[in-house]
Amino acid sequence: MEFLLRLIISALAVLMTAFLLPGVDLKSGWTALVVATVLSVLNAIIKPVLVFLTIPITLVTFGVFLLFINAFIIMLVDRIVPGFSVHSFWTAFLFSIILSLTMSLLERLAKRQP
């Protein structure tokens, strides 16, 4: 049940972030749900491998390179999910930052329920 709640929160965050950024196109709410699902799968499978392979550069940049990995994963989601497009790498970079902040805010609001 908690996974489903996190998936819905992710989809809402994707919707809100796509609305805020002019370089992100999202076809519908269902597409946002698919984007959230694919993003969670890629974050679970590909991201740990990329983080491991880029440990030296991540250490040199004090972790800032992780933001580039997040943007790369957003670009992969763009290629996989029809109805979702990100116009440039820098838009994906901003999308990943705003998405993280939005998800944190929504998760805090969801945990406040009595």
Q: What is the largest CA-CA distance in the chain?
A: 44
CB-CB neighbours of 40 under 10 Å:
14
The pLDDT of 83-97, averaged and rounded, is 95
Is the dihedral angle over the CA atoms 14, 48, 104, 6 positive or is it negative? Answer: positive
The residue written with tokens 């196109």 in the block is 25
The pLDDT of 80-93, averaged and rounded, is 95
Confidence (pLDDT) at 111: 81
